[in-house]
Amino acid sequence: MDKYVIVSDATLDLPVSIIDEYGIRVIPMGVNIDGTEYSHYPDEREISIEEFYGKLKNGATLHTTQITPSIFMDFFSDILKQGLDILYIAFSSGLSGTYNTSQIVLRDLQEEFPDRKIYSIDSYCASIGEGLLVLNAAIQKNNGMNIEELREWTEQNKRRSRHWFTVKDLYFLKRGGRITSIEAFVGTALKIRPVLSTDEVGKLVVVSKIRGTRAELEFLVSKLEAEGTDLASQTVIIGHGDDLLKAQELENLIRGRNLVKDILISKIGPIIGTHTGPGMLALVFMGDNNK
């Protein structure tokens, strides 16, 4: 059987321990903070996530950058030269041009490495939703799936990754064009937290609005109960934007109801955090393809 690796990008927001355990290769992504460029790696080697949120809270000017063709070319070439095939699971095309760029690069690489298998899959997912899909794909790989089988499995299961999250500061959604200035002003005054998810093409959509921490936690758990499938065998992921205590509250609520097999808590990194801000809380799990 040909050897292959699963590759993703730094938006997947998985803990570095999980990435290392499953041998997932992760392409770093860039964030510019007050004119200084940083590459975000899962091990936070250039800037820690805590430092990033500190700068965000202090009013830093930030923007993120896509993976360039040259970065893709260098990263993939290094793997292919080792005699390994590639299954790349990409950040949602509904939120970034990353996937489309990878397609262009892979066509060129296929000519240079005609004997290697190189596949790129649009996950339609972001952050820990992407991470959950990648983690489950890595588990399937460990269970013996070859690259062709895993490519098919990922295509069939990518729409099962359910994303539900809330944000604390509406300014970041307004800046990104997700809500209007009036919505942001009224929401902030009334302490309303919007609930977001992803649509069928991987774009973020505001689907509900709630008030109060308890209502926020209960809403997320209600989505898990209503949409999750085979929960007793699932590991779900909770993500947070520099608010570990609230993430642990959500974890305790889910564990107290004995809903799932296990729970991972992960930090939302700079690439997604730039657009959702501090205080973001997310829950992702696998659901039904038809919902």
User: Tens of pLDDT along 128-184?
Assistant: 999 999 999 999 999 999 999 999 999 999 999 999 998 876 666 666 555 555 454
Report percent pLDDT > 90 for the chain: 75
d(CA 249, CA 255): 10
**Least confident interval from 6-20, 83-97, 200-214:** 200-214
**Least confident interval from 47-51, 150-154, 163-167, 279-283:** 163-167
Residue 239 near residue 268, CB atoms below 8 Å: yes
- Which tokens belong to 219? 């809403």
pLDDT at position 182 is 43
Report percent pLDDT > 70 for the chain: 90
Domain locations along the chain: 4-158, 161-286
Whether the pLDDT of residue 199 is over 60: the answer is yes
Global confidence as pTM: 0.91
Q: Report the chain's mean pLDDT, rounded to a whole number.
A: 90
CATH no. for 4-158: 3.40.50.10170
d(CA 189, CA 204): 23
| Burial status of residue 103 (CB atoms within 10 A of its CB: 0-12, 13-18, 19 or more) | middle
CATH no. for 161-286: 3.30.1180.10
> Which one-letter DSSP state was computed for residue 12?
G
Whether the pLDDT of residue 187 is over 80: the answer is no
Q: How many CB atoms lie within 10 A of CB 63?
A: 11
Residue 13 near residue 131, CB atoms below 8 Å: yes
